[in-house]
Structure formats: C-alpha cells, structure tokens
Structure 1
Amino acid sequence: LEAIEPFLPRVAFVTLLGTSIGVKGQSLSEEACPRLTEARALMRKAGREADIRLAADGGIRHETVPLLRAAGADTVVLGSLAFGDPDLAQRMAWLHGLKAAA
C-alpha cells in the first residue's frame, strides 16, 4: 500500500483488489479488510480522505460487502452480485443503505 502514497495528492479514486488477479469466483482474501483500513489511514494522513473514493474489487458477495464497507470502502465494484440478482433495484437499495466506517 505504500506504493499509493506518492499519488494520493493527485488521485480521486483508489481501488484495492481483494483477491488474486485473473481468477473469477475467488473468496475474499483475509487481507482485504485490513488493507482497506490501512489505505483509509494513508488517505487521512495525506489530508485527502474526504477527496478520495476508496473502492473494493474482487470477492464481492452479499456477506462480504458489509465487511468491506465497515473496513472503510466507500463503494464496491459489482459483478455477479448485481448482474446476477433478479431484482437489481432492490440490490442497489441494499447496497446504498450500508454505511462505511466513520
């Protein structure tokens, strides 16, 4: 995560991958939530926490989204969680109702 520090003054969006690259259907890594918390701390240290959206991608499931949001993700990159849902409007309302960590 230290690699993002030099870019924090210039970016508006940071996405962290919570799985290995290139393999669909993986479970969320145990390191995903701690990495989000650490990224949020780096953004806060840089004085840019309010200016940068923090997103999580990979391992996005009904049961993992609340964990990711609580760890500091402003949003998640949706795939099958949204597009495989028979009621997309209800899924989006649920997602928007979740709160990120303060």
Structure 2
Amino acid sequence: MTTATRPLIAPSILAADFARLGEEVDAIVQAGADWIHLDVMDGHFVPNISFGPQIVKALRPRTKLPFDVHLMIEPVDPYLEAFAKAGADHILIHIEAGPHAHRSLQQIRALGAKPGIVLCPATPPEAISEIMDMVDVILVMTVNPGFGGQKFLASQLPKISRLRDMITKSGRDIRLAVDGGIDPTTAPQATAAGADVLIAGSAIYAQPDYKAAIEALRPTPAG
C-alpha cells in the first residue's frame, strides 16, 4: 500500500531562503523531492502574506516536478487562471474560503490543472463529501494555516483516517496530503493514518542536508 511504503514528499518553499529561491528549488529537486509545494497567502483568509503567481512563473523553468499550489486566499476564483498560466500543476483551494467550491473546482479542471480541496483543523471530513468526485488531491491541515513552524495537531489523525476511508469508498485515485508540523516523529503517524503525501517546510529547509531530511520523513524499510 502506498501510504505504508513510500509517501510522496513535497517540500514547502515557504521555509526556503527567499533570497535564493531558485537555487533552493534546485537543491530539493536534487535531494529527491516528489512535488514542490507553494503556499500562497493573502493576509485576508490567513494572517500572513507570501507570494503570488509571478513567483510560480519564475520558478517553473527550474524543474519538471509537479507544482502543488495551495491557495490560502479569499475570494479565490479571480486568481485561478493566473496561477494555472504561471505553471501550477495542482491548484488546491480551501472548502472554507467560499460557498462555491464546486464551481471553483470545475474551473481549475477546465484550466488544465488538477483540482484539490483543503480542510482546516476545525472542518469535518463530511464538508467535502459532495465534491469527492471532483478532486485529485485532498489536503488536511495539521496546523491552523497561515504560518510555518507550528506544532502538529494530533487531533487531525482520526480525520485523516476517515478521509482515507472516504477515498477508498469513492474508488477514485485521490492523493491524501497532510501539511503542518510534519517531521520525522509525526510523519509516520500521518502515513499510518492514511496520508500518502507529506508536505514539510522547516523539517527539510532548516536542516543542513536536504536529502537526509527528505529520507528521514519516509518509512524505514522492514527488516
């Protein structure tokens, strides 16, 4: 099973050195990253501001790895096209960011990107039950979104398990990602609960050896 053997690792560039962002992307590609996670914050939906589509566009030529773009913005619809054109492979929106997630996910698909839905810690899995057939990625926030370096919320583990069951019952190939406080201690907890994509920032970028940091998040082979 994917979740038990080799979860995908998606380093979050929010924790990278912004003065040398291109080189930081090159470094995690060489270190064995599977996806590149880009956190877009608007200072409105979340209490922080990060970057916009120009950064995505500037980094796009550095790698062919999927760009997993997490939009923590409200409203989101006016910006979907800009991020798709900038090179986002996946565009993830929050179920909490507006009343029309169904329409937003349709638009993402029409723009040629893979749609994803994100749940904040207070949001139950049932909130996305009506749009399971529309998403390729589900992201569970294991911290409250808006800042890096927060402590993992173990209260989200049952939610991850319930979502894994919902994915299995749907019969669809949906990736189940987790983001927030992921490190060598919490990563096995998340994968045991059913996650198959681990998003990590400081657990990778705050380490001297990115390759070792990425491998430390993967399960140790049995035997």
TM band (smaller chain): 0.7 to 0.9
Do the aligned partners of 2:143 and 2:150 also contact (CA within 8 Å) in 1? yes
Aligned: 1:56 with 2:56: no
Q: Give 1:98's aligned residue.
A: 219
1:12-62 deviations in Å (ceiling 9; x for gaps): 1110001123244322113211110011011112122xx011000012122
Q: Give 1:31's aligned residue.
A: 155
Q: Greater CA radius of gyration, 1 or 2? A: 2
Structure 1 residues 36 and 52 mapped into 2: Cα distance closer, same or farther (>3 Å)?
Answer: same
Distance 1:94 1:29 in 2: 20
Mapping 1:60-79, distance limit 5 Å: 60-79=182-201
Compute the displacement of 1:6 (Å): 1.6
Do the aligned partners of 2:148 and 2:201 also contact (CA within 8 Å) in 1? no
TM-score when scaled to structure 2?
0.40
Q: Give 1:2's aligned residue.
A: 126
Compute the displacement of 1:87 (Å): 0.9
Which residue, 82, 86, 94 being the options, matches 2:208? 86
Distance 1:27 1:93 in 2: 21
Compute the displacement of 1:4 (Å): 1.5
Distance 1:91 1:26 in 2: 18
Q: Which one has more relative contact order, counting CA pairs under 8 Å at least 6 apart?
A: 1
Q: Give 1:11's aligned residue.
A: 135
Counterpart secondary structure, 1:8: helix
Distance 2:212 2:154 in 1: 28
AA of the residue aligned to 2:153: S
Compute the displacement of 1:90 (Å): 1.5
Which residue, 158, 166, 169 being the options, matches 1:42? 166
Distance 1:32 1:83 in 2: 24
Distance 1:92 1:24 in 2: 17
Compute the displacement of 1:85 (Å): 1.2
- Considering fraction of residues, name the structure with more helix: 2
